[in-house]
Every structure is written in C-alpha cells, then in structure tokens.
Structure 1
C-alpha cells in the first residue's frame, strides 16, 4: 500500500492547488492547464465521495481517506505521463492530511502522513476564501471557512512548502499564478541548459 502513495519520478514542474472547499481550485486548475497546454489532475475525493453519497447516502469517514489518497496518487502518476513541462494538481496528499486532522480529531493514517511529506511539488497555490460559497452534496462547514483556510496555510508553513497566496477574481489569480510558474519553468530550463553545457 505504501508504494501506491509515492510519486513516480518524472521531470516536470509540479504545481498544487491547495486550500478549503469552494475557493476556485478546480476552475484555476483548468485555466492553468489550458494556458500551458498540459493536463491537470482532478480531485479523486470528489468522484469517490459523490459515488458513496449517491449509493449509500453517507459522507466521508476516516477509513475512506487512505483509499482516497491511493486513488489520488494513482491518478497523478498516470496523468503525469501525459503532461507537457507542467503538471497541475487540483489537490495532493498534504491536503488530505489536513482534512484528516481537522475532521477526525488529529488522526492521520501513518502511511498517508509519511507520503504527504515525502512527495514533492515545486509550488503550492493557496486559494483564499474571497470566493462565493457554492453548495453541493459534499461541501460542508461554510461557517468555518477562515478556520479551514488557516489550517491549510499553517500546514504549508509547518512543513516548509513553497507557496503563493492567491486572492481576488479569476483573472487576477490566473495572472499571478502564471507569473510565478513561468519563473519556475525558466529557472528549471536554465539549470538544464547549464548542466547540458557542462557535459559537452
């Protein structure tokens, strides 16, 4: 099971959309994938939990999280092979870890905890709560958006993850995200060029 939670090595710039529910992560994932002509990794939890709700009228339980994490990494590793230079991820295992901590009294599966800290990404895009709350079958706690946002930001700080806080409308967020991602791509390209020249 542990192997199923690990990223397969691949030479891509990996960007994660990170933050509470209904803060524009999926919208921005699609916009960025379109801009960079690449693929984006959807949030497996939504598919998994919607199916559970439709079939059983049950919401997420602590035991679901490890299955969600495995499904998420399977999806990410599969789509990474189709990406061009940049992989946009609508979520990652660190987000699953935060939800586990916040919803289940601090409980986190040991394997999920380990993988969430070992898997690596070049940038986290932390989406702020200045977007309208949109109700659906799965979303809850609209009154605790700030508390959830704080939990997500604290996780990034605690684990020393490189992140960019995004606020404002869709266009503002997209432009700011592209600006920073372009810098990362340029830096990666320059390093490869330097490395290649050293090997001549």
Structure 2
C-alpha cells in the first residue's frame, strides 16, 4: 500500500489547485492544461464517490479515504509521464487529509498523513470562496465555506507549503496562475 501513495519522480513542474468544494478548482485545472498544452490530473474522489452515491446512495466514509488516495496518486503518477512542462493537479493527498480531519473528528489515517506531507509540489493555488456555490450530489457544506477556506489555508501555513491565493473571476484567476507558473517553468528550465 505504501508504494501506491508515494509520488514518483517527474520531469515537470507540479502545481496543485487546493481549497474547499465549489471554488473553481476543476474549471481552472482544465483552463491551465489547455493554456499550457499539457495534462491535468482530475480529482479521483469525484468519480469514486459519485459511483458510490449512484450505486448505494452512500456518501464518503473514513474507509473510503485510502482507496481515494491510492487512486489519486495512480492518476498523478501516470499523467506525470505525459508532460515535460507542467502538471496541473486538481487536488492532492494534503487536500484528502484536510477533508479527513474536517469530517472525521480531527483524525487521519497515519499512512495517508505520511504521504500527504511527504509528496512535493512546486506551488499550491489556494482557491478563494468568491465563486458561486454549485450544488451537486457530493457537495454538502455551502454554509461553511468561510470556515472550510480557513482550514485549507491553515494547513498550507502549518506545513510550510508554497502557495498563492486565487481570487476573482475566471480570467483574473487564470492570469494570476499563468504568471506564477511561467516563473516556475523558467526556473525549472534554467536548472535543467
């Protein structure tokens, strides 16, 4: 199980869209992948949990978190092989850890926590709650957006993760993100 949660080395810049539900992470991931003619890593939890809801009318439970984490890292490791510029990650294991602690009384599986903290990314984009809430089968805390945003930001600060706050409309967020990614790619290319 441990190997399945470990991030494999990759020859690219890795960025993560990070933040509470319904804050534009997937929309921006797709925009960035198009902008850079690269690939993006979808959020495995969406597919996994939507299937669970469709098949059993059940939501996420603690025993779902390790299979979700394993699926997320499998996707990331596979897709990282398909780019030598930038990999856009719609989420990461730190996000899964944050949700685990927020939903399950502050607890997180030790194995999930270990790799959530060990896996590395060049930059996190923390998505603010100034986007309209969009309800679906899986989203459940529209009234707690501000509190959840603070939990996500606190995690980035606590674990000393490099991040940039993204606010505003889609165009503004895309411009801010591409400016930051361009700097990372330039630095990456200089180091190679």
TM norm. shorter chain > 0.5: yes
RMSD over aligned CA atoms reads: 0.6
Question: How far apart, in 2, do the equivalents of 1:113 and 1:88 lie?
Answer: 22
Give 1:10 shift. Answer: 1.1
The answer to whether the Cα contact below 8 Å between 2:11 and 2:84 also exists between their aligned partners in 1 is: no
CA distance in 2, matches of 1:14, 1:72: 14
Match of 2:73 in 1: 73
Aligned 1:146-161 pairs, distance under 5 A: 146-161=146-161
Checking the alignment, whether the CA contact within 8 Å between 2:19 and 2:127 is kept in structure 1 is yes
User: Is this contact kept in 2: 1:40–1:87, CA < 8 A?
Assistant: yes
Q: d(CA) in 2 for partners of 1:191 and 1:44?
A: 32
Contact 1:16–1:92 at 8 Å: present in 2 too? Answer: yes
| Runs of at least 5 residues in structure 1 that lack an aligned partner in the other structure | 193-200
Residues 123-168 of structure 1, C-alpha deviations (whole Å, 9 max, x = no match): 0000000000000000011000001000000000000000000000
TM-score (norm 2): 0.99
User: The residue matched to 2:62 in structure 1 has which SS?
Assistant: coil
1:168 match: 168
Q: TM-score, normalised by structure 1?
A: 0.95
Moved more, 48-57 or 80-89: 80-89
Asked if the contact 1:39–1:84 (Cα under 8 Å) also holds between the matched residues in 2, the reply is no
Asked if the contact 1:37/1:84 (under 8 Å) is kept, the reply is no
